[in-house]
Amino acid sequence: MKALRNFLDKLKPTFSEGGKLSALHSVYEGFEAFLFVSNQTSKSGVHIHDSIDSKRVMFWVILALVPALLFGMYNTGYQHYLAIGLLEQTSFWQAFGWGALAVLPYLVVSYLVGLGIEFIAAQIKKEEIQEGFLVTGILIPLILPIGIPLWMVAVATAFSVIFAKEVFGGTGYNIFNVALITRAFLFFAYPTKMSGDSVWISLNEYFGFGKTVPAVDGFSGATPMGQAAIATGDSLQLTSPLGDPLSWWDMFLGLIPGSIGETSTLAILLGGAFLIATGVASWKIILSVFAGGAATIFVFNTFAVNAYMAVPVWEQLCLGGFAFGAVFMATDPVTSSRTETGKWIYGFLIGVLAMILRVLNPAYPEGMMLAILFMNIFAKLIDYYVVQHNINKRLKRATLSSNPAKTTPHE
Amino acid sequence: MKFNKEVLIKPLNRANPVTVLVLGICSALAVTAQLKPALVMGLSVVIVTAFSNLIVSFLRNGIPNRIRIIVQLVVVATLVIIVEQVLKAFAYEMWKSLSVFLGLIITNCILMGRLEAFALGNKPFDSFLDGIGNGMGYAIVLFIVGFVRELLGSGSLFGIKVIPQSFYDAGYANNGLMILPPMALIVVACIIWVQRSIRKELQEK
């Protein structure tokens, strides 16, 4: 620690005003703040009530994402070996290691591109580097299918960091969730790489590991959501890639094809519990998203006219990106509602919209992304009306209590 | 008849109707997914703006103030119908692909704006130049937007493939979002961004 401190202190003059590399001032600043607590304190006007700063909040979210990330790595490997029919001969660590190698490049690309743009933007604007991308960078790979080319991820990340974040003023000023904009960009720009049957399970080898062999007979790469969207007839049997029926436990545990981090409801709920315990995410939003989704599915179940509408609540809530969106996307403190009543409305409407899009619109097998982005627009509007309602209520109370005094008959 | 260069040049950049006055955005979104319709649309607007400016400028002293909008509309509508019929006769496919947006030139804000702001108070030749300038300013933006959208969205220019097959074999794919209308807005925004970084006096406070 001491050696690191000394090293940084020695570098400081180079990056300070008048130094050789003063143009990279904020890069130095950023790394110093990343490694140590900043030793500059405010002189006036700031009242700190505890030690939570955005660096720590970001770090907690990353910790909460670790279960989903690790499970996503394992599931990627699991689905790969399942598809090529070698699952029996494969150990847990082999599947995990293969999946880790497959997922890692996405993490690297997303961080390199995103942080690169943030660093450049900070130099141009002569501001400090903000921590906002630390979480976005890990969220982006988790909501993508494993088959998507890396250059597309790079393009989409650059697009969303520039147009969804820097243009609006950087971290904390964005209207839309940056990671979801990345996904939406990819979804509309390269639909063949973001949906369908062939993108969810990788059949490639990575760095010499794994095998590039054709999938076994009877293999189908469709996700449960994909199967449900094209299902016809009265009964719907969701199956694994090899055609075995899926139980609720499979869906909850997450050994199903899907985006890298979204499949395991269990891992997501672990992260969610951690976020609620640390106070980073609002339990009201998470709960109301699930409530909104459950209520909508309940209505669909009651008036079911096809097999998809009859899928029970507990399965719907575990499928697709619903849980991931509810826990990690809807609760983004920047883009969600901030008033307490507003959080309930905001979350509930996300759940309702996601299920309506998912079940009633055959063009979109999953509706969580669009539902959250759509409600991002309305988050501040909800806040506005909640605040106005409160103001009116209190005004009425104030006039009620002051009126009797005024109207006492003196005349 | 003095040739007033300023009137012609100014709308191309410094007072561009699309990027500075932000007029005529709707058709900029609608017809720019491909370069060819964008170009034809741009030229049609040049013709209509130039001649409606010219005609209204000739009439300007005879138009009663209270009914001037109706007179302007009659002039513009006549010109638009002439352009539309010419295209229908000699470029039927193009007329079909531009469909309703050709007729909607009548409601293009640039036209009414120039008639009201310039043609009613200036001499015919100046008004004619102003019409050409503003039409060209619109056409240039449409051309750039159409160029970017067709190149990235379909991999072609004027309908001819320009991105070689080897790129696609190496994993390149066309950006489907470029075909969708929202991307036109973002491309226009990028043009505005570039323009205002170069011309600092255009930046709003």
Residue A341: count of CB within 10 angstroms of its CB: 16
Interface A-B: count of C-beta contacts within 8 A: 19
Residues of B with CB under 8 A from a CB of A: 171, 173, 175-178, 180, 186
A283 touches chain B (CB under 8 A): no
A149, A188, A190 ranked by CB distance to B180: nearest: A188
A191 touches chain B (CB under 8 A): yes
Note whether A163 contacts B171, CB cutoff 8 Å: no
The identity of residue A285, as a single letter, is I
Highest mean pLDDT among A172-186, A209-223, A361-375: A172-186
Average pLDDT in the B112-134 region?
87
Note whether A190 contacts B176, CB cutoff 8 Å: yes
Note whether B173 contacts A193, CB cutoff 8 Å: yes
If DSSP codes are grouped into helix, strand and coil, which group holds residue A71? helix
A149, A163, A189 ranked by CB distance to B176: nearest: A189
Distance CA(A310)–CA(A359), nearest Å, equals: 10
Of residues A138 and B30, the one with the higher pLDDT is A138
A168 touches chain B (CB under 8 A): no
A158 touches chain B (CB under 8 A): no
Highest mean pLDDT among A128-137, A154-163, A170-179: A154-163
Note whether A190 contacts B186, CB cutoff 8 Å: no
If DSSP codes are grouped into helix, strand and coil, which group holds residue A105? helix
Distance CA(A42)–CA(A112), nearest Å, equals: 32
Find which of B148, B152, B169, B175 to mutate to test the A interface (most A CBs within 10 Å of its CB).
B175
Q: What is the pTM of this model?
A: 0.84
- The chain B residue lying nearest A193, using CA atoms, is B173
Residue A127: count of CB within 10 angstroms of its CB: 12
Contacts B186 to A, Cβ<8 Å: 163
- The chain B residue lying nearest A149, using CA atoms, is B171
Average pLDDT in the A244-263 region?
84
- How is residue A210 written in tokens? 């794994």
Contacts B178 to A, Cβ<8 Å: 189
A207-226 core/surface letters (b: 16 or more CB in 10 A; e: else): eeebeeeebeeebbbbbbbb
A163, A189, A192 ranked by CB distance to B175: nearest: A189
Instruction: List, as ranges, residues 171-190 from A with C-beta within 8 Å of B.
Output: 185, 188-190
The full set of domain ranges for chain B reads 2-202
Of residues A194 and A384, the one with the higher pLDDT is A384
pLDDT at res. A108: 93
B171, B173, B177 ranked by CB distance to A185: nearest: B177
If DSSP codes are grouped into helix, strand and coil, which group holds residue B161? strand
Burial of residue A248, with CB atoms counted within 10 A of its CB: 0-12 exposed, 13-18 middle, 19 or more buried = exposed
Note whether A151 contacts B171, CB cutoff 8 Å: yes
A331, A285 Cβ separation under 8 angstroms: yes
CA distances from A46 to A38, A41, A49, A171, A403 (A): 15, 10, 10, 20, 41
**Torsion angle (degrees, nearest 10) of CA A379, A173, A177, A75:** -130
- The chain A residue lying nearest B187, using CA atoms, is A163
Detail the DSSP E strand segments found in A93-210. Answer: none
A152 touches chain B (CB under 8 A): yes
Contacts A185 to B, Cβ<8 Å: 177
Of residues A178 and A320, the one with the higher pLDDT is A178
Note whether A188 contacts B171, CB cutoff 8 Å: no
- Calculate how close chain A gets to B198, using CA atoms only, in Å: 15
Q: Which residues contact B117 (CB under 8 A, 6 or more apart)?
A: none
- Calculate how close chain B gets to A190, using CA atoms only, in Å: 6
Average pLDDT across chain A, whole number? 83
- The chain B residue lying nearest A159, using CA atoms, is B186
Average pLDDT in the B86-95 region?
88
The identity of residue A170, as a single letter, is G
Model confidence at A47, pLDDT cuts 50, 70, 90, reads low
Distance CA(A315)–CA(B123), nearest Å, equals: 74
- Return the biggest CA–CA distance within chain B: 66
Contacts B173 to A, Cβ<8 Å: 149, 152, 190, 192-193
Nearest residue to A140 (alpha-carbon basis) of A179, A106, A103:
A179
Asked whether the CA dihedral A329, A66, A133, B179 is positive or negative, the reply is negative
Distance of CA B140 to the CA centre of its chain: 7
Note whether B171 contacts A149, CB cutoff 8 Å: yes
Distance CA(A233)–CA(A383), nearest Å, equals: 44
- The chain A residue lying nearest B186, using CA atoms, is A163
Instruction: List pLDDT tens digits, range A62-95.
Output: 999 999 999 999 998 888 888 877 777 888 888 8
φ/ψ (deg, to 5) at A209: -95, 160
- How is residue A90 written in tokens? 């494969």
Instruction: List pLDDT tens digits, range A82-91.
Output: 887 777 788 8
Find which of A162, A190, A193 to mutate to test the B interface (most B CBs within 10 Å of its CB).
A190
If DSSP codes are grouped into helix, strand and coil, which group holds residue A404? helix
A163, A188, A190 ranked by CB distance to B173: nearest: A190
Note whether B178 contacts A189, CB cutoff 8 Å: yes
Average pLDDT in the B14-27 region?
81
Note whether B175 contacts A190, CB cutoff 8 Å: yes
Distance CA(A350)–CA(A339), nearest Å, equals: 16
Distance of CA A53 to the CA centre of its chain: 21
**Torsion angle (degrees, nearest 10) of CA B170, B171, B172, B178:** 170
Note whether B177 contacts A188, CB cutoff 8 Å: yes
Distance CA(B23)–CA(B10), nearest Å, equals: 16
Residue A43: pLDDT over 90? no
- How is residue B192 written in tokens? 């505005």
Nearest residue to B49 (alpha-carbon basis) of B11, B79, B85:
B79
- Calculate how close chain A gets to B175, using CA atoms only, in Å: 5
Q: Calculate what percentage of chain A has a pLDDT beyond 70.
A: 86
DSSP annotation of A328: I
DSSP annotation of B130: H
Model confidence at A56, pLDDT cuts 50, 70, 90, reads confident
A149 touches chain B (CB under 8 A): yes
pLDDT at res. B91: 86
B171, B176, B186 ranked by CB distance to A191: nearest: B176
